[in-house]
Amino acid sequence: MELKPWMQSITPDDMPNDDLRFIAEKAGMQSALALLFCTPGLTVSIPKNPFKIIKEEYIKNNYDGTKYMLNKLAVECGCSQRYIYKILQKDAEARESQ
């Protein structure tokens, strides 16, 4: 979305509601304005963990069995080592049942 000259002076405090003000502060004014003008009237739901399946696939595809990789994946994916072990165990069980 291209900002029009009259939009240049809009600040987060000018947003019509708290949700858009929050988005403007966290994601930037251009993001908030794009939502406002490109999707007027829509109610948007933002999931808490939208890429859970993608993260799990990434962990399964990149874990090489070492403690180093376990630590690296935990930090990269923002999860605990225990969670990674659960993902790997669930994957191993699924493979055994095939």
The identity of residue 90, as a single letter, is K
Determine what percent of the chain falls in helix, strand and coil, rounding each to the nearest 5.
65, 0, 35
Q: What backbone phi and psi angles, to 5 degrees, belong to 4?
A: -80, 155
- pLDDT tens digits, 5-57: 999 899 999 999 999 999 999 999 999 999 999 999 998 888 998 999 999 99
CA dist 37 to 28, 33, 94, Å?
A: 15, 6, 46
Question: What's residue 44's pLDDT?
Answer: 87
Written as six digits, the tokens of 58 are 């990434």
Distance, in Å, from the CA atom of 27 to the CA atom of 68, rounded to the nearest integer, reads 33
Q: What backbone phi and psi angles, to 5 degrees, belong to 42?
A: -85, 145
